[in-house]
Structures are given as C-alpha cells and as structure tokens.
Amino acid sequence: MELDYTQIGKHIAARRKELGLKQTEVCDKTGINDKYLSCIERATSIPSLEVVIRLAQALDTTPDFSFWWAALATKATPGKTPQSCCAI
C-alpha cells in the first residue's frame, strides 16, 4: 500500500479552508514556512512525521483521520512520487 500524497495535500488544504485559516496562520501555529506548506498541499513535498503531527494539531484534528486513512490504498503514479523540495 502506498500513500497518495496528492490526496493528503488536498485533505490538509481542505481542513485549513474549512477552519477559515490562511496558509500563513497555519505556518505561525506549526513553525513551518508558507512555501513548505504550499509544497505539501500541492504534493511537491513529503512532510515528515513531526510536521504531520504539528499540522494535525494546528488544524484541530488527528493525523490518522485527516491525512493518512483517506489517502491509503491509492497508489501513487510510478515515477511521480513527490520529492522533498522545500525546507522547514
């Protein structure tokens, strides 16, 4: 089973918008920069477990529900796995 990072990013962005938060507000709560959050939401960067936990806390949810379970079992396109492109 592989994670679908596109779906994970979409779930993060959807939860942020559901709460009425701007990227900069989430970044202030998590200690990550806005470029990195943008990369995560667009699936061009894979967040570390630490960042996932911080995002879950900032978005008032749990990492297992909002990020991972909804994206499990969807295989990523071979050769299209996102790489970590942005620094924390």
pLDDT at 2 over 90: no
Are residues 68 and 31 in contact, defined by beta-carbon separation less than 8 angstroms? no
Residue with tokens 């990492």, as numbered in its chain: 63
pLDDT digits (tens, 9 = 90+) for 4-49: 888 889 989 999 999 999 999 999 999 999 999 999 999 999 999 8
Q: How many CA atoms lie less than 13 Å away from 8 in the CB half-sphere?
A: 32
pLDDT at 82 over 50: no
CA angle 78, 64, 66 (to 5 degrees): 80
